[in-house]
């Protein structure tokens, strides 16, 4: 997680879970709608992206057992100069990082 890369958009299916992208030959990933744009909606992604377009991204999570790769295209997460927190063990009290809230328990 955290590796910057260039991805090619394969699909923009608004009824799906997000953008399907290719990051290398035979390596595909998912950009969930919430990570596609700052607004995080299918409509905002459709306005910004086109199938075949190459976009800068960052690996958000990897699930090797399920052969799944999730990426973010959010500009704020791509350009952050702050250190990345790529796992709970990497988090420290008082550390500053860019991120997003996905839930509150």
Kindly report, residue by residue over 29-81, the tens digit of the pLDDT. 999 999 998 888 888 899 999 999 999 999 988 988 877 899 999 988 888 88
Q: Which helix (H) or strand (E) holds 42?
A: helix 42-48
pLDDT grade for 18, boundaries at 50, 70 and 90: very high
Whether the CB-CB separation of 60 and 7 falls below 8 Å is answered with no
Fold designation for 3-79: OB fold (Dihydrolipoamide Acetyltransferase, E2P) (2.40.50)
pLDDT grade for 21, boundaries at 50, 70 and 90: very high
Average pLDDT over residues 73-91: 84
Locate the domains of the chain by residue range: 3-79
Range of weakest confidence among 2-11, 27-36, 95-104: 95-104
| Contacting residues for 32 by C-beta, under 8 A, at least 6 apart | 17, 18, 70
Which 3 state secondary structure label does DSSP give 90? helix
Task: Give me the pLDDT at residue 85, please.
Answer: 80
């Amino acid at each position: 997680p955290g590796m910057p890369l260039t991805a090619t958009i394969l699909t923009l299916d608004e009824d799906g879970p997000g953008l399907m992208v290719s990051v290398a030959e035979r390596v595909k990933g998912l950009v969930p709608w919430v990570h596609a744009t700052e607004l995080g909606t299918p409509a905002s992604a459709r306005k910004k992206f086109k199938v075949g377009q190459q976009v800068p991204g960052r690996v958000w999570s990897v699930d090797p057992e399920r052969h799944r790769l999730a990426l973010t295209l959010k500009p704020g997460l791509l350009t952050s100069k702050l250190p990345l927190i790529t796992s709970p063990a990497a988090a420290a009290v008082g550390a500053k990082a860019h991120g997003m809230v996905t839930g509150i328990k």
